[in-house]
Amino acid sequence: MALSVFSLKGKLALVTGGGTGIGAGISKAFIEAGARVVITGRREDVLKSAVKELGEGAHYRVNDITDKKGIPDLVNDIETNIGPIDILVNNAGIHHKGMAQDTTDEDFERILQTNVMSVFALTRECAKYMLERKKGSVIMIGSMAGLFGIDKVVAYGTSKTALTGLVNALVTEYSTSNVRVNAIAPGWIESNMFLNAINNDEKRKQQITNRIAMDGFGKTSDIGNAAVFLSSEAARYITGVVLPVDGGATVNF
């Protein structure tokens, strides 16, 4: 099999939250696979720095994904001024740590608005163009918390579980137009946010380390490589999957 089936040359990807962490890892992998990338986020200085590092083929748009009314303008701007969106990666999301009994309705709704409602709104808008062109790849970034129960993240875990239902429903409607919808469920991936969180909680750090079957935490490039595969022609017959990239954490005892 020719390695060209893994190439993303000529493709344009939109990666929300693409300036840092997992989003940056995905964007870098896409660029290396030959794609052009548009990254979005709320902080222009972060986006500018990321685009400079990504190099030629990288663009950015300042955008707050929770501003659902602005989503059609964002997508139209990219389609008109940069190019047709072939790949959408719904990476942007927020976290809330707290026991269920300490999580307010406002906390819960804020997580769902960002991690589910905004994801659906952006996917629906990008799909308008993809369905018309009869091609496209949509990737949701899920979580281990969407595959098994984890304490202190009730709102976040629920939001990531909901993405699996969203994937399933969209597959039934988009597949006949050759628009594929998949999810990646990252395990514990090295990032500043994650490392800062666990370094302040030795008990949780040990709990996480014991859960992972392989040695050590994952890297953002591990998620990026999985996203490249799912977006490429090598995965042309794959839709509706939730792919754990977790070092075996899902199945380890």
34 φψ region: left (φ > 0), alpha (ψ -120 to 50), beta (else): left
Residue 205 lies in a domain: no
Question: CA-to-CA distance for 156 and 152, rounded, in angstroms?
Answer: 9
Residue 172 lies in a domain: yes
User: What pLDDT score does 118 carry?
Assistant: 98
Q: What is the pLDDT of residues 40-63, one digit of tens each?
A: 999 999 999 999 999 999 999 999
Indicate if the pLDDT at residue 197 is higher than 80: no
Confidence of residue 1 (pLDDT cuts 50, 70, 90): low
Indicate if the pLDDT at residue 35 is higher than 80: yes
Residue 105 lies in a domain: yes
Residue 178 lies in a domain: yes
DSSP codes, 93-111: -----B-GGG--HHHHHHH
Identify which of 116, 107, 94 has the alpha carbon closest to the alpha carbon of residue 17. Answer: 94
Residue 251 lies in a domain: no
Average pLDDT over residues 138-147: 97
DSSP 117: I
Tokens 């953002």, located at residue: 220
Indicate if the pLDDT at residue 2 is higher than 80: no
Query: How many domains are contained in the chain?
Result: 1
User: What pLDDT score does 155 carry?
Assistant: 97
Beta strands in 77-160 (DSSP E): 87-90, 136-141
Average pLDDT over residues 179-183: 98
Confidence of residue 199 (pLDDT cuts 50, 70, 90): confident
Mean pLDDT of the chain: 96
What pTM, to 2 d.p., does this model score? Answer: 0.96
103 is written with which tokens? 């999580």
Question: Domain containing 74: what range?
Answer: 3-190+219-237
Identify which of 59, 18, 21 has the alpha carbon closest to the alpha carbon of residue 41. Answer: 18
Residue 166 lies in a domain: yes
Q: What is the pLDDT of residues 207-225, one digit of tens each?
A: 999 999 999 999 999 999 9
Confidence of residue 171 (pLDDT cuts 50, 70, 90): very high
Q: What is the pLDDT of residues 226-252, one digit of tens each?
A: 999 999 999 999 999 999 999 999 999
Identify which of 169, 172, 168, 182 has the alpha carbon closest to the alpha carbon of residue 136. Answer: 182
Task: Name 179's bridge partners.
Answer: 136
Residue 92 lies in a domain: yes
Question: Which of the residues 60, 129, 156, 237 is marked catalytic?
Answer: 156
Q: In what order do the strands lie in the sheet with 179-186?
A: 58-62, 36-41, 12-16, 87-90, 136-141, 179-186, 242-245
Indicate if the pLDDT at residue 201 is higher than 90: no
CATH code (residue 116): 3.40.50.720
Q: How far is CA 171 from the centre of its chain?
A: 17
Indicate if the pLDDT at residue 198 is higher than 90: no
Q: What is the pLDDT of residues 68-114, one digit of tens each?
A: 999 999 999 999 999 999 999 999 999 999 999 999 999 999 999 99
Report the percent of the chain where pLDDT is more than 70: 100
23 is written with which tokens? 């989003």
Annotated active-site residue 129? The verdict is no
